Amino acid sequence: MTKLYNVAVVGATGAVGEQIILQLEQSDLPIATIKFLSSPRSAGSTLSFKGKPVIVEEATPESFTAIDIAIFSAGGSISAELAPEAVKRGAIVIDNTSHYRMAEDVPLVVPEVNEDALRQHHGIIANPNCSTIQMVAALEPIRQQYGLKRVIVSTYQAVSGAGNLAIDELYTQTQAVLNNEPVEATILPSAGDKKHYQIAFNAIPQIDVFGEDDYTYEEHKMINETKKIMGDASLKVAATCVRLPISRGHSESVYFEIDEAGVSAADIKASLKDAPGIVLQDDPATQTYPQALDCVDKRETFVGRVRRDLDEPKGFHMWVVSDNLLKGAAWNSVQIAERLVALNII
């Protein structure tokens, strides 16, 4: 008989939480019971799961009694406080926040890249940053075949990465601009930072707050997480992260250099064509390339505009697009849960 699992979603009412619920509904994960948890503020509201109403409960240490899998997406401080409580009670935690990602004893997993790392878990498994996930998913099949020595990425990130309030802010500001009314900014670029700027019809080269080296934390995440997921501290990674007036779907302009010589763009495309989780959309003759709008609600990472650098024979460019709320967050988390079951880790 198939084992059934008790699953909890922490942060069920957030932008990512909503998508985790949808992904769980579509998943073949054998679920016995489901529990939706949130802050005291959102507790008491009713969501649905597979057609049945589920009342959202306040997340407390006791919420995790008898839970097998707890997917966290309620901010780093909640994960810091409650993930150890869930583990103490026997749950495996899949954490969407950045809190545990760089901890040495926490696997940071994109199943297409390093699902074997799941076997080393000590209760907590970290889900990488959205912009990291789609990039490593696209780079991994290339790295497998030709090696990888360097990555330089510039991102084109949707506001939904900053939550539901940021989506509201984009739409409200946009309507205000169209009406010639004053625009108010209170969320972006980073809710926790001092200044806020208009995102409607603008490009803001700041995501998350700045570190002391003048890189943003979002850029640090892409750099450090990529090295950890790929298990290659010597890999050169550079990132510039930019927020744009797009509601959903992150795009990335990725330059990369491989180890092997004599590789063509056609070879790179061939390595991507049947790679797991990747859809190659690359035909300039028919103007076929990935677009943010087209990736919404899809689990895959879309890759196009693959071409060799005109000066560097081992250098290539590509355009990588994925739904930041799905592969970038909710789907990757649920996929981790599915892999835990498939690999008999849970």
Host H or E run for residue 176? helix 164-178
Instruction: Provide the 10 A C-beta neighbour count for residue 127.
Output: 30
Q: Which of 58, 116, 184, 312 binds a second copy (CB under 8 A)?
A: 312
Question: Is residue 36 close enough to count as binding a second copy by CB under 8 A?
Answer: no
- CA 12/CA 74 separation, integer angstroms: 8
- CA 219/CA 152 separation, integer angstroms: 11
- CA 329/CA 35 separation, integer angstroms: 19
Spatial contact of 74 and 59, defined as CB atoms under 8 Å apart: yes
- From 155, 153, 200, 152, select the one nearest 176 (Cα to Cα): 200
What is the smallest separation between the CB atom of 18 and a second copy, expressed in angstroms? 19
Q: Which of 145, 147, 270, 307 binds a second copy (CB under 8 A)?
A: 307
The interface mask with a second copy, positions 176-195, x = CB under 8 A, is: --x----------x---xxx
| Residue tagged active-site, from 130, 220, 241, 295 | 130
For residues 164 and 247, which CB has a smaller minimum distance to a second copy in the complex? 247
130 flagged as catalytic: yes
How many residues bind to a second copy according to rule CB under 8 A? 60
Spatial contact of 307 and 317, defined as CB atoms under 8 Å apart: yes
- From 286, 293, 213, select the one nearest 249 (Cα to Cα): 293
121 flagged as catalytic: no
What is the smallest separation between the CB atom of 139 and a second copy, expressed in angstroms? 16
Q: Which of 31, 54, 223, 275 binds a second copy (CB under 8 A)?
A: 223
For residues 198 and 301, which CB has a smaller minimum distance to a second copy in the complex? 198
Q: In angstroms, what is the C-alpha Rg of the chain?
A: 20
Question: Is residue 238 close enough to count as binding a second copy by CB under 8 A?
Answer: yes
User: In the numeric block, which tokens belong to residue 107?
Assistant: 């696997």
Spatial contact of 99 and 124, defined as CB atoms under 8 Å apart: no
The interface mask with a second copy, positions 201-220, x = CB under 8 A, is: xxxxxx---x--xxx-----
For residues 105 and 168, which CB has a smaller minimum distance to a second copy in the complex? 168
- CA 156/CA 319 separation, integer angstroms: 10
What is the smallest separation between the CB atom of 25 and a second copy, expressed in angstroms? 25
- CA 53/CA 127 separation, integer angstroms: 28
For residues 120 and 175, which CB has a smaller minimum distance to a second copy in the complex? 175
- CA 280/CA 269 separation, integer angstroms: 7
- CA 6/CA 33 separation, integer angstroms: 5
| Residue tagged active-site, from 99, 241, 250, 295 | 250
Question: Is residue 33 close enough to count as binding a second copy by CB under 8 A?
Answer: no
For residues 151 and 334, which CB has a smaller minimum distance to a second copy in the complex? 151
Hey, which residues are catalytic here? Answer: 130, 250
Q: What does the binding site for a second copy look like in residue numbers (CB under 8 A)?
A: 150, 152, 154, 156, 171, 174-175, 178, 189, 193-195, 197-198, 201-206, 210, 213-215, 223, 236-238, 240, 242, 244-247, 249, 251, 253, 255, 265, 284-287, 289-293, 304-307, 309-312, 315, 317, 319, 321
